[in-house]
Amino acid sequence: MTWIATLLAVLRSAARSRAALQAENLALRHQLGIYQRTCRRPHIRPLDRLFWSWLSRRWTGWREALVIVRPETVIAWQRRRFRDYWRKLSRAGKPGRPAVAREIREITRRMSLACPLWGAPHIAGELKKIGIELAPSTVARYMSRRRKPPSPTWRTFLRNHVREIGAVDFFIVPIVRKRMPRAHH
């Protein structure tokens, strides 16, 4: 039975291209090297994982030549490597947005106090004219907050408008049939 399998493998390899045979030879030699450097159970190093991830992207027949691990394992290695790469990039440096310099915050505060009718987009546009690029949302964060006067109470309203108020009708019409009563002419 093994002779037949070997004969079929030889016939199949004769029909394949030279590049495919070289890739398969490279893959099998790599796996053989892993078996030779470990005693019982093959120990796969990060460079071995990197090699198989690279080979799986370059050669379509990599699944047939893989003996040491399952093809799903190689795909899991690729996903883990992708995830770790982006995690490492996102952790590089300080987290979050860069801080705005104190001078720029002061300029923003002074502009908002000097021109109370200007909103954040207008101030951001003016800052851009002098070479300072800030988003309107950032400008809004550093604008000075004006305290609004408290709204008057109902009692104050009535005291201020007692002369203008002619009459108020507080007559209540009870409705039993959920209809408004007819107006009599």
State pLDDT tens for residues 13-35.
666 777 777 777 777 777 777 76
Specify the number of domains making up the chain: 2
Q: What is the pLDDT of residue 175?
A: 66
Residue 167 falls within a domain, yes or no? no
**Model confidence pLDDT, tens digit, residues 63-113:** 777 777 777 887 888 888 889 888 888 777 766 777 889 999 999 999 999
Between the two ends of the chain, the Cα-to-Cα distance in Å is 113
Q: What is the pLDDT of residue 22?
A: 78
Q: What is the pLDDT of residue 76?
A: 84
Q: What is the pLDDT of residue 42?
A: 72
Same domain, 70 and 114: no
Same domain, 125 and 71: no
Residue 71 falls within a domain, yes or no? yes
Q: What is the mean pLDDT of the chain?
A: 79
* Residue 102 CB coordination number (10 Å): 8
Same domain, 106 and 81: no
**Cα 139 to Cα 106: distance, rounded to the nearest angstrom:** 11
Same domain, 86 and 110: no
Q: Which domain holds residue 31?
A: 13-91
User: Which pair of structure tokens corresponds to residue 33?
Assistant: 């090297």
Residue 131 falls within a domain, yes or no? yes
* Strand ranges (E), 12-69: none
Residue 171 falls within a domain, yes or no? no
Same domain, 83 and 138: no
Same domain, 69 and 125: no
Residue 157 falls within a domain, yes or no? no
Same domain, 25 and 82: yes
Same domain, 31 and 86: yes
Q: What is the pLDDT of residue 170?
A: 66
User: Which pair of structure tokens corresponds to residue 119?
Assistant: 């909103």
Same domain, 107 and 133: yes
Residue 25 falls within a domain, yes or no? yes
Whole-prediction pTM value? 0.34
**Model confidence pLDDT, tens digit, residues 135-172:** 999 999 999 887 777 788 888 888 888 887 766 666 66
**Cα 35 to Cα 29: distance, rounded to the nearest angstrom:** 10
Q: What is the pLDDT of residue 139?
A: 92
Residue 5 falls within a domain, yes or no? no
Residue 111 falls within a domain, yes or no? yes
